[in-house]
């Protein structure tokens, strides 16, 4: 387990190494939300495919390349992120009628938008500065939360399976931040629970 200082310093170093990819990812995230909001044909499949690619990116660039040499648990996290990417891709190639379709309603899209636009600002709320901002598509927390928002905005017969890894990651992240005394430790878990609650409500016709 990292000390808080080391943990956030490695995030800052990672962000510096990838700059200015963060700007591109913010634009990608906004584009995905807009695509789903407009409910274009095959929008959910396109978004799911892009999200799968981003899960692969985070699994490789952050967990495997950056952390696995100094934290044995990062190897398992990398495998989990790759597994989620494979699951999301697999669902998209299942014959039409069993894949994802838009369920309607803005609730899940709001969760996605929060993950993309607001989550990076939590570093300022926590008093850490923008150097440790966690950006969608680059860091695991906002990527997992945005995926939960996407799943909440679509209907899929494999929802339970697709929600599992993002939910598990949000739990792990909140526990990790809590043990380090970070003031925003509750955000990943809370956003996860909001997304799941919205998904359940949507399926129940609430």
Residue 194 has pLDDT above 60, yes or no: yes
Do the bridges between strand 154-155 and strand 101-102 make them parallel or antiparallel, or are there none, so unpaired? antiparallel
- Give the pair of three-digit tokens for residue 41: 């044909």
DSSP 133: -
Q: What confidence tens digit (pLDDT) does each residue in 84-104 have?
A: 999 999 887 654 443 444 554
- pTM of the full structure: 0.92
Q: Which two tokens stand for residue 118?
A: 């607001």
Q: What are the Cα distances from residue 100, in Å, to 15, 68, 95?
A: 33, 33, 11
Adjacent-strand bridge partners of 155: 101
- Hey, how many other C-beta atoms are within 10 angstroms of the C-beta on 115? 29
């Amino acid at each position: 387990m990292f000390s808080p200082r080391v943990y956030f310093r490695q995030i800052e170093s990672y962000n510096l190494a990838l700059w200015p990819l963060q700007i591109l990812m913010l634009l990608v995230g906004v584009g995905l939300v807009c695509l789903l909001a407009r409910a274009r044909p095959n929008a959910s499949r396109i978004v799911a495919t892009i999200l799968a690619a981003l899960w692969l990116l985070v699994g490789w660039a952050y967990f495997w390349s950056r952390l696995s040499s100094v934290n044995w648990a990062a190897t398992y996290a990398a495998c989990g992120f790759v597994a989620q990417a494979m699951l999301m891709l697999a669902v998209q190639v299942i014959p039409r009628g069993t894949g994802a379709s838009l369920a309607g309603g803005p609730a899940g899209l709001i969760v996605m938008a929060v993950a993309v636009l607001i989550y990076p600002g939590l570093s300022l709320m926590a008093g850490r500065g923008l150097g440790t901002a966690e950006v969608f598509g680059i860091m695991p927390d906002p990527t997992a939360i945005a995926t939960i928002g996407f799943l909440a905005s679509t209907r899929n017969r494999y929802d339970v399976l697709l929600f599992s890894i993002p939910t598990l990651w949000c739990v792990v992240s909140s526990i990790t931040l809590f043990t380090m005394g970070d003031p925003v430790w509750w955000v990943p878990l809370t956003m996860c629970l909001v997304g799941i609650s919205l998904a359940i409500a949507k399926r129940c016709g609430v």
